[in-house]
């Protein structure tokens, strides 16, 4: 057996997940009304009873699931992960008697998860459920072991409600096991999911400090929170596990009314490329307003990014990492006979009176290039590109041209036909 043969292959659900490539994360909850991040209850030491009063003003009046799913589609995103319940313990779904701390029992009087799933279906987006395991109402960080058992019952029952009432979902993403070193009884929780949602991805955030760590055998993807992923060496892994990076668009997951530290479309494009370089998905967060609308800046940024993704879709969703080596941040993905060269830092053309040249153009070297190339062109313009290759030596070069005046794609992708 060669080293390649011994690499695990992805199960169909994991392969499908990787092809979704780009997703929207939504942190929506009672905290959205305060606009000081989703950890506000904890960071401002707000008593559970005081915080709970936010339920009385939770209207979700502008939560339009169809519009959110449409925005995701326009951004080139293929899935959305919604906080069905976050650390504050408030559920956006009908807990069916498990608790009265849920959206149907607030002034909103709606099951927002049901609306979310429907909105996604209507727009061809795959719905994923985020569910916390750390629950401040249960003090699950500090509560006695006896109460913890009871909490785990409640957690399991809540997840069962999510698995049984909303049709087929893309996956469940847990978050909070990092808060307490204990036996979270993952076997049981994941068995509940597999029973009702056999094709769902199971993900459990390993936290800021532990990006890429492989957990329980049922887990289908590693997580990279706020951190660019690296390419895993899967040799010897008992199963193929995907990778996903989640990232805030400013510095909070829930609405940050006074947070001005935003990613730009260029940042998002570069991060999406960096994730795909290593075969990971990119889950980009938005924090809706007090009433559940996606804020203007996020909306505009996502639409702008969507225009880039539309030009480069052929290289984003199904193309996989290769071992071809490139200069700088450049890299090559492959989908069958199509290779995609991701070029960074290209020069910009135009009169010296108006344009700053920036970056470079000309030949960019490729190493470990074992596939014969027949032609190359920019995906965005169709302009053909020159290339050279020495197949025996496994080297080549792609004649990258810079951006003509009037464009700057940040990352530009060339398709190289193999064969």
- Tell me which of 220, 225, 244, 415 binds ligand GLC, using CB under 6 A: 225
For residue 387, the tally of other CB atoms under 10 A from its CB is 21
Choose among 310, 314, 343, 377: nearest CA to 76. Answer: 310
For ligand GLC, give the closer residue by CB, 168 or 227.
227
- Tell me which of 242, 246, 275, 409 binds ligand GLC, using CB under 6 A: 246
Shortest distance, position 253 Cβ to ligand GLC, whole Å:
5
Binding mask of the shown chain, residues 39 to 68, with x at each position contacting ligand GLC by CB under 6 A = x-----------------------------
For ligand GLC, give the closer residue by CB, 115 or 175.
175
List residues bridging with 204 in a β-sheet.
174
For ligand GLC, give the closer residue by CB, 6 or 251.
251
Q: Applying CB under 6 A, does 253 fall inside the site for ligand GLC?
A: yes
Shortest distance, position 247 Cβ to ligand GLC, whole Å:
9
What does DSSP say about strands 171-175 and 242-247: parallel, antiparallel, or unpaired?
Answer: unpaired
The answer to whether 384 and 377 have CB atoms below 8 angstroms apart is yes
Q: Applying CB under 6 A, does 175 fall inside the site for ligand GLC?
A: yes
Please tell me the distance from the alpha carbon of residue 419 to that of residue 416, in angstroms, as a whole number.
10
Q: Applying CB under 6 A, does 154 fall inside the site for ligand GLC?
A: no
Residue labelled with tokens 């890299």:
331
For ligand GLC, give the closer residue by CB, 287 or 396.
287
* Total site size for ligand GLC, rule CB under 6 A: 9
Please tell me the distance from the alpha carbon of residue 360 to that of residue 345, in angstroms, as a whole number.
6
Eight-state DSSP code of residue 138? G
- Tell me which of 84, 205, 281, 289 binds ligand GLC, using CB under 6 A: 205
3-state secondary structure of 339: strand
For ligand GLC, give the closer residue by CB, 27 or 312.
27
Please tell me the distance from the alpha carbon of residue 19 to that of residue 254, in angstroms, as a whole number.
27
Q: Applying CB under 6 A, does 38 fall inside the site for ligand GLC?
A: yes
Would you call 410 exposed, middle or buried from its count of C-beta atoms within 10 A (0-12, 13-18, 19+)? Answer: middle
Query: For 285, phi and psi rounded to 5 degrees?
Result: -90, 145
Shortest distance, position 128 Cβ to ligand GLC, whole Å:
12
State the residues that interact with ligand GLC by CB under 6 A: 27, 38-39, 175, 205, 207, 225, 246, 253
């Amino acid at each position: 057996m060669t080293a390649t043969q011994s690499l695990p292959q992805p199960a169909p659900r994991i392969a499908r997940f990787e092809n979704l490539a780009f997703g929207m994360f939504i942190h929506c909850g009672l905290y959205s009304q305060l606009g000081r991040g989703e950890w506000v209850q904890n960071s401002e030491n707000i008593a559970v009873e005081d915080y709970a009063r936010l339920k009385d003003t939770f209207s979700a009046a502008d939560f339009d699931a169809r519009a959110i799913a449409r925005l995701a589609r326009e951004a080139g995103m293929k899935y959305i992960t919604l906080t069905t319940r976050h650390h504050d313990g408030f559920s956006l779904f009908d807990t069916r008697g498990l608790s009265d701390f849920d959206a149907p029992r607030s002034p909103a009087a709606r099951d927002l998860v049901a609306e979310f799933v429907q909105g996604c279906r209507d727009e061809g987006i795959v719905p994923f459920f985020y569910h916390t395991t750390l629950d401040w109402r249960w003090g699950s960080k500090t509560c006695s072991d006896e109460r913890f058992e009871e909490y785990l019952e409640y957690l399991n029952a809540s997840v069962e409600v999510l698995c049984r009432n909303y049709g087929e979902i893309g996956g469940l993403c847990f978050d909070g096991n990092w808060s307490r070193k204990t036996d979270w009884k993952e076997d049981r929780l994941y068995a509940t999911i597999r029973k009702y949602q056999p094709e769902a991805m199971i993900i459990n955030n390993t936290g800021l400090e532990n990006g890429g760590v492989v957990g329980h055998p049922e887990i289908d993807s590693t997580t990279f929170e706020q951190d660019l992923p690296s390419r895993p060496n899967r040799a010897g892994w008992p199963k193929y596990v995907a990778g996903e990076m989640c990232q805030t668009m400013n510095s909070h997951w829930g609405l940050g009314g006074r947070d001005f530290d935003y990613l730009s479309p260029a940042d998002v494009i570069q991060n999406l490329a960096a994730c795909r370089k290593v075969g990971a998905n990119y889950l980009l967060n938005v924090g809706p307003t007090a009433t559940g609308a996606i804020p203007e800046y996020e909306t505009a940024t996502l639409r702008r990014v969507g225009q880039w993704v539309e030009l480069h879709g052929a290289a984003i969703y199904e193309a996989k990492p290769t071992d071809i080596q490139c200069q700088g941040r450049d890299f090559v993905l492959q989908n069958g006979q199509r290779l995609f060269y991701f070029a960074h830092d290209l020069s910009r053309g135009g009169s010296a009176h108006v344009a700053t040249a920036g970056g470079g153009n000309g030949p960019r070297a490729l190493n470990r290039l074992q596939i014969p190339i027949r032609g190359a062109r920019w995906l965005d313009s169709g302009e053909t590109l020159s290339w050279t290759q020495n197949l025996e030596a496994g080297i080549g070069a792609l004649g990258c041209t810079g951006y003509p005046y009037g464009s700057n794609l940040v990352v530009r992708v060339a398709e190289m036909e193999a064969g």
